[in-house]
Amino acid sequence: MKSDTSSIRRNRSLPIIEPELLGRVLASAADLSIVMTPDGTTTAVLVNPNAESMGNLGHWEGRPLRDFLTEESIPKLERVLRKAAIGEGDGLSVELHGVVDRLDLGPDGGATVVDYKLRGARVNWARFLAGQQLQLPAYLLAVRTAGAAGEAQPVQAVAAEYQPVEPRWQSNGEADFAPQRVPPVMKKAEQQDRLAGLLPEALNHTQRIIGELAERMLAGEVGPLPLLSPREKGWTACGLCDYRSVCRFDPLAGERYRQASGRGDAELRDAIAAGGDFSGSARGDGPEVQR
Ligand code: SF4
């Protein structure tokens, strides 16, 4: 296992923050974190202490990463390096990895991303705008991007659903397995029409939010700044967090939370559907999320 963080400091490959802290944050944020030069030479390898199956990867340092990749992964690496080299997307190229639980494809190419949750879940728009609930919209964004890439049968992102695997029991004793859906199914046609723009607008915001979060990280802002939601009885992101022991966030010492929007969920949803401007919501300098 590689956990020595001195190589980050030596190679000056990331913005200046305390190297020991940066190394621990990176090592905890993913099973495997790799820092590379623009030509793909590995300068630092950090393995999450909980991912013991990774083994000792210290010998990757100083060697081309492509030497250790499978044949199908090498083109992906080349693509990322090429994009970074030509400065595509204002020099910011972000590659996310995830596994979709289920993807339903209709005969017309309409795609619904389904995520199984034990008792279901719902999209919380205040947390979404703060960049805290991006999993399903990021999957749908991937579907939209792939669909736009010119498949024989164009694929269109039409919905995302949280599907409960345990029933919600009704007062009449019946089991309710209905998914929580975005866009939601409304009772009245005019309500449904009002939400017609919700999905495309939410996906545009998803792209912007991912960009804002990545920009903050690349600017060296990797210190803990957890979210607090005043409307949810003071809910904080720290409540069930696995990384509490390494992040050193200490509100007793005066460290601050980010404040999620105090506006109601339906109000935020309608504002997104209407094309509202929420720029800065994940940076914490927009009106909806404050540092
Ligand atoms: S405990 Fe809170 S501040 Fe620390 S990493 Fe988790 S969410 Fe962030």
pTM of the model: 0.69
- DSSP of 148-199, one letter per residue? TTT-SS--EEEEEEEEESSPEEPTTS-EE-PPEEESPPPSSHHHHHHTTTHH
Does residue 167 or residue 75 have the better pLDDT? 167
Most ligand 1 atoms within 8 A of CB, residue of 22, 228, 238, 291 to mutate: 238
Query: Is the Cβ atom of 30 under 6 angstroms away from ligand 1?
Result: no
Question: Where residue 210 falls among pLDDT bands split at 50, 70, 90?
Answer: very high
Asked whether 14 and 220 are in contact (CB, 8 A), the reply is: yes
SS3 content of the chain, % helix, strand, coil (to 5): 35, 15, 45
Distance from residue 248's CA to the centre of ligand 1 (Å): 8
Which residue's alpha carbon is at the smallest distance from atom 7 of ligand 1? 238
Stretch 253-265: mean pLDDT, rounded?
A: 92
- Average confidence (pLDDT) over 165-185: 91
**How far is Cα 74 from Cα 187, in angstroms, rounded to an integer?**
50
Query: What homologous superfamily does CATH list for 6-86?
Result: PAS domain (3.30.450.20)
More confident residue, 112 or 47: 112
CA distances from 30 to 19, 23, 65, 144, 238 (A): 17, 11, 18, 26, 17
Give the pLDDT score at 3: 45
Q: Would you say 35 and 43 are in contact if contact means Cβ atoms under 8 Å apart?
A: yes
Q: Which two tokens stand for residue 41?
A: 């030479």
- Ligand 1 geometric centre to CA of 250 (Å): 10
CA angle 41, 217, 74 (to 5 degrees): 30
- Regarding the beta carbon of 256 and ligand 1, being less than 6 Å apart is answered no
pLDDT at 130: 94
Mean pLDDT of the region 159-186: 92
Nearest CA to ligand 1 atom 1: 244
Q: Which of 247, 255, 256, 257 for a ligand 1 pocket mutation test, highest count of atoms within 8 Å of Cβ?
A: 247
Q: Which residues contact 226 (CB under 8 A, 6 or more apart)?
A: 236, 237, 238, 241, 249, 257, 258
Residue among 212, 80, 198, 192 at smallest CA distance from 137: 198
Domain ranges of the chain: 6-86, 102-200
User: Chain centroid to CA 38: how far?
Assistant: 24
Percent of the chain with pLDDT over 90: 40
Residue 241 CA to ligand 1 centre (angstroms): 6
- pLDDT over 90 (residue 51): no
